Amino acid sequence: MTSIPIRPARPDEYAAIGELTHAAYTNDYTDLPAHYRDELKHPEALLDDFEFFVAADPETGQLLGTIALLRPGHDQEGRIAPDELYFRLLATHPAARGRGIGIALTEFALDQAAQRGQRVVVMNSGPDMVGAHALYRKLGFRREAEREGIVELPDGRTFQLLTFVREVAA
């Protein structure tokens, strides 16, 4: 694997980030609710709370992956402590799989937490995202059942939202 630089997303990249995230999630998960599939296409709707970062091919500039980190001072309605970094929407474009992009983006989140003086990285995942769960376990994350809960979707379906955490190396 070559080193893939990770940098803050530019405003002109939000549409491409949305398409990349939508492609990644719909490639792996066929039963995503319609509202969520639509939300995946619009990262700009989350900018008040999240900062987006991208992994881009150093030669072509093509976006290969993305991750959204909760902005400092935001707490997801009290679910995230001040000394925790929360991330979501980790995505690798299906054509870029196998190059270590997901690992690099997750390690980027861990590095950002350390730089910010945070002690833990937290993320949520759906129960069907077993490929992602394997990546998180490989990188030292563990499930924290006491932080999990049932989510009701706009279409009336429910599912258990899983929580994964990892302490940040000092």
pLDDT tens digits, 95-132? 999 999 999 999 999 999 999 999 999 999 888 888 88
Q: Over the chain, what is the mean pLDDT?
A: 92
Say how far apart CA 47 and CA 32 lie, in whole Å.
22
Give the number of other CB atoms < 10 A from CB of residue 84: 18
* Vertex 25 angle, CA 142 and 112, to 5°: 50
Show the domains of the chain with their CATH numbers.
6-167 (3.40.630.30)
Assess whether pLDDT exceeds 70 at residue 170.
no
Which of the four pLDDT bands, split at 50, 70 and 90, describes residue 157?
confident
| Burial label, 39 (beta-carbon count in 10 A; 0-12, 13-18, 19+) | middle
Phi and psi, residue 153, nearest 5°: -90, 160
